[in-house]
Amino acid sequence: AQYNHYAVKTWDSFNLRRERGRGAVAVTDATTIRHTDAYFRDRNVPVLREESIARYQPAVAAQIARMLAVSAVAAAQAECERIYGALCVPYRRMGGLKDEIAVQE
């Protein structure tokens, strides 16, 4: 089995993580802050593609389809996506690093 965890995904998703904090470590000063703009910039490197997990995609897609066929699961998923989308809105409107990254690509 394999678990793929990506340090950063999108700018808005990264900012939600930054807003949540670190969980196990209180962010109290520069020594405990982790999710900085530099952290995102250093890890947002789209040149590396890890596709070994792609072989599982058909089975995963089939399982997701089975789960979403349950109306309560589909409703809960839709609600989660709605909430997440609303939480991301402020970050999608941000400039700064997001615009800087787009220029670099």
Q: pLDDT for 40-89, tens place per residue?
A: 888 887 777 778 888 999 999 999 999 999 999 999 999 999 999 899 88
The phi and psi torsions of 68 (rounded to 5 degrees) equal -70, -15
The model's pTM: 0.65
pLDDT at 59: 96
Which carries the bigger pLDDT value, residue 97 or residue 25? 25
Task: For residue 3, tell me if it sits in a domain.
Answer: no
Structurally, the chain folds into a number of domains equal to: 1
DSSP 60-76: HHHHHHHHHTSHHHHHH
What is the torsional sign of CA 33, 38, 41, 42?
negative
Task: For residue 96, tell me if it sits in a domain.
Answer: yes
Q: How confident is the model at residue 1 (pLDDT cuts 50, 70, 90)?
A: low
Domain that holds residue 25: 11-104
- What is the token pair recorded at 69? 């066929």
- The answer to whether residues 4 and 83 touch, using CB atoms and an 8 Å cutoff, is no
Task: For residue 2, tell me if it sits in a domain.
Answer: no
Task: For residue 4, tell me if it sits in a domain.
Answer: no
